[in-house]
Structure 1
Amino acid sequence: MDFTFTDDERAFQDAISRFLMTEAAPEALREIWETDAGRSPDLRNKMAEQGLTALSIPEEAGGLGMGDVVWSLMTQELGYYGIPDSLADTAYVSAGLIAALPETVADRNGWLEQIAEGSIRIAVGHPVNPLVADAHLADFTLLNHEGEIHAVPRSLIDVEHNASIDSSRRLCRVMWEPSNSTRVADAETGAPIWEEALNRGALSVAGQLLGLAQRMLDLSVDYVAQRKQFGKPIGSFQAVKHHLADVASKIEFAKPVLYRAAYSLQHGQADAALHISQAHVACAEAAHLAARHGIQVHGAMGYTWEVDLQMFMKRTWALESSWGDRAFHKARISAAIFADDAPLGPGQTFGRS
């Protein structure tokens, strides 16, 4: 399978990376965290101007019409720079969910246009997540009631804030009452749409975790090149090299798993859920190892507020169980590979008869 990205896709990723490098420096993120909302409307508007919110919106609704494969690159950048915003929930997960709604839903096209413009914030409450990110700030929240899809405005929701180890996460427990006025799809229509939303959410988290892993590795490499013991940079010691090499290997092995999952989802392949769970597990393992070894090479100071590593380490711990924890995704993988009719073996893997 060819995982070569087009020149346009790589150029868009590079442009977003350069933009976030300037606009989302760690000191700027700390300032945003200390606000009551924990969000920067200015940063979000600038991201919309860069085209992030329009990325997967259909062209007829004012978007760029790109797919899941490009988002596998973009979510890595959101993770790498630790963006304190649920932009992917609005621009990717909810955009896909809304696009899948029947065209008879009166507000469908208007919502898509507003997402593309960056003028709306939508939270997504899926049963796999007990808490909803940014529900207190969302214009409305997409919620599941026995398979139905409800678009519930902020005025009809009560939220209970839930503290997170990650200062950038704004999580809420949502209380609401389903009604005919909020229902936009019945259970029969909504069930496959919710399944697709789960896959998009898990893929989004996988990409962010891979970006976080790379950022923690880069921070660790920079640190061990500067920190000296016995008159030498600690990065010259073999044990430190081995730790960081293990992280680099995990990241490189996780990348094709992520891209395979994005390709499967974009092309509607039957094994998309399996591939996405594999990506979630692989990227979470890479990020978890990067955090653990990052702390080891930094020493005790790696935990402290002054060191940037802790920002990305805590984000990793918070995201690992988002859109399905490790047990959930391993169960999906197990169900697929131990099924009686599971298409296993090299002949299936490589498409040979």
Structure 2
Amino acid sequence: MEFTFTQDQIAFRDSVSRFLMTEAPPEMLREVWDTDAGRSPELRRKIAEQGLTGLSVPEAEGGLGLGDVDWALMTQELGYYAIPDSLIDAAYIAAGMLAALPEGHAARGEWLPRIVDGSARIAVGHPVNPLVADAHLADLLLPHATPAGLELHALPAAAVKVETERSIDASRRLCRVTWQPSAATRIAEAAAGQAIWNQALERGALGVAGQLVGLAQHMLDMTVDYAGQRKQFGKPIGAFQAVKHHLADVFTAIEFAKPVLYRAAAALASQDASASARIAHAKLVCGEAALLAARKGIQVHGAMGYTWEVDLQMFMKRAWALNAAWGDRAFHQARLADALLADQAPLGPGATFH
């Protein structure tokens, strides 16, 4: 089995990286954090102009119709630059949920084109997340109701009550949402809605896993740079073997996490029966890499990485927050255990490419 990215996918990733490097430097992120909304309409507009909001929207609704593997690259870049925006929730998760509705459905026809042009913010309230990200700014909310399965509802902002909650990550704006389900708000019955919500969970967890890899890589790059500049006993601290070991551990963790992430994305894209287990594995491994990068980064920085003045704390706090989003460690460990301990589970070297 050979898995490589196409030249177009690599070019896409590089172009996104160059765009975000220019438009979202750390000093801009700090300015956005200090605003009441915590979001930059100007950055969102530029993201939409680049076509990034329409990646998952079908071509019939004006999007690019790209898949999960493309998002595995995209989410790493969003994580690397710690973009303070709910782009993934709207352009990847919500777009997939609305695209799963039958052709001609009113909600699909109304909201997918607005995702493409960037004029709509959509918040997704999956039961695995007790709080809803960016609900305070959402034009549309997709909450769940559980009378006999997970129904899918769609409500405008005026139909919900939103209470903001604080997060350790100042750029992650979380809300508690109160609303009343009705036949008028229901856009998918429990049978169809359950499948849509299951897919949303997989995409949400995969999106977070990709961001965690990007965050880990940025924290490693920052720490390497600091180790090359900070001097002790007349030489850069990066010259000392103990520091090299810290950095090597993080590098190894990232490189081992990437293929797990890509395999999970490929499984989801092909609707492989093992997709849930592979995504759970990716969420765990990518989370471990990000947490290790944060811990080692703080050690190399001499604990000053905690302080507000150092950019490391921005990425570290995002990693801590995202590690529990779309299913915490216990949730995904249980999902992975169910797959591994199932009867006739394909285990061992011979099942590597089962």
TM > 0.5 fold call: yes
- Unaligned residue ranges in structure 1 (runs of 5+): none
1:321 aligns with 2:314: no
1:310 aligns with 2:313: yes
- Tell me the secondary structure at the aligned position of residue 52 of structure 2: coil
Shift of 1:224: 0.3
Q: Which residue identity is paired with 1:128?
A: V
Q: Which residue identity is paired with 1:192?
A: A
1:193 aligns with 2:196: yes
Shift of 1:107: 2.2
Shift of 1:4: 1.1
Shift of 1:343: 1.8
Q: Which moved more, 1:67-76 or 1:340-349?
A: 340-349
- The match for 2:285 is 282
Shift of 1:27: 0.4
Counterparts of 1:178 and 1:25, CA distance in 2:
41
**Consecutive aligned runs of 4 or more in structure 1 exceeding 6 Å deviation:** none
Q: 2:161 aligns with which of 158, 162, 176?
A: 158
Shift of 1:348: 2.1
Q: Which moved more, 1:4-13 or 1:162-171?
A: 4-13
1:186-265 mapped onto 2 (5 Å cutoff): 186-265=189-268
Identity %: 68
Q: Deviations over 1:199-231 (max 9, x none)?
A: 000000000000000000000000000000000
1:331 aligns with 2:334: yes
- The match for 1:343 is 346
Shift of 1:347: 2.3
Q: Deviations over 1:136-187 (max 9, x none)?
A: 1000110110110000111011111100110101000100000111100010
Q: Which residue identity is paired with 2:75?
A: T
Q: Deviations over 1:302-324 (max 9, x none)?
A: 11111000000000000000000
1:286-305 mapped onto 2 (5 Å cutoff): 286-305=289-308
Q: Which residue identity is paired with 1:82?
A: A
Counterparts of 2:225 and 2:43, CA distance in 1:
27
Q: Deviations over 1:58-101 (max 9, x none)?
A: 11111111100000000000000000011000000001111111
Q: Which residue identity is paired with 1:93?
A: I
Q: Which residue identity is paired with 2:65?
A: G
Does the 8 A contact of 1:3 with 1:256 survive in 2?
Answer: no
- The match for 1:25 is 25
Does the 8 A contact of 2:123 with 2:140 survive in 1?
Answer: yes
- The match for 2:56 is 56
Counterparts of 1:8 and 1:340, CA distance in 2:
41
- Tell me the secondary structure at the aligned position of residue 154 of structure 2: strand
Shift of 1:191: 0.5
Counterparts of 1:41 and 1:291, CA distance in 2:
29
- The match for 1:106 is 106
1:260-271 mapped onto 2 (5 Å cutoff): 260-271=263-274
- Tell me the secondary structure at the aligned position of residue 310 of structure 2: coil
Does the 8 A contact of 1:219 with 1:309 survive in 2?
Answer: yes
Q: Which residue identity is paired with 1:320?
A: N
Counterparts of 2:154 and 2:2, CA distance in 1:
39
Q: Deviations over 1:226-265 (max 9, x none)?
A: 0000000000000000000000000000000000000000
Counterparts of 2:109 and 2:352, CA distance in 1:
40
Q: Which residue identity is paired with 1:151?
A: A
CA RMSD in angstroms comes to 0.9
- The match for 2:152 is 149
1:86 aligns with 2:89: no
Does the 8 A contact of 2:98 with 2:107 survive in 1?
Answer: no
Q: Which residue identity is paired with 2:213?
A: L
Q: TM-score, normalised by structure 2?
A: 0.98
Counterparts of 2:98 and 2:36, CA distance in 1:
30
Counterparts of 1:245 and 1:46, CA distance in 2:
36
Number of matched residues?
351
Counterparts of 2:272 and 2:137, CA distance in 1:
35
Shift of 1:346: 2.2
Counterparts of 2:302 and 2:40, CA distance in 1:
32
- Unaligned residue ranges in structure 2 (runs of 5+): none
- Tell me the secondary structure at the aligned position of residue 123 of structure 1: strand
Q: Deviations over 1:109-134 (max 9, x none)?
A: 22111111111110000000000000
Q: Which residue identity is paired with 2:332?
A: H
Counterparts of 1:80 and 1:349, CA distance in 2:
30
Shift of 1:12: 1.1
- Tell me the secondary structure at the aligned position of residue 168 of structure 2: coil
Q: TM-score, normalised by structure 1?
A: 0.98
Counterparts of 2:105 and 2:38, CA distance in 1:
33
Q: Which moved more, 1:102-111 or 1:33-42?
A: 102-111
Counterparts of 2:163 and 2:224, CA distance in 1:
40
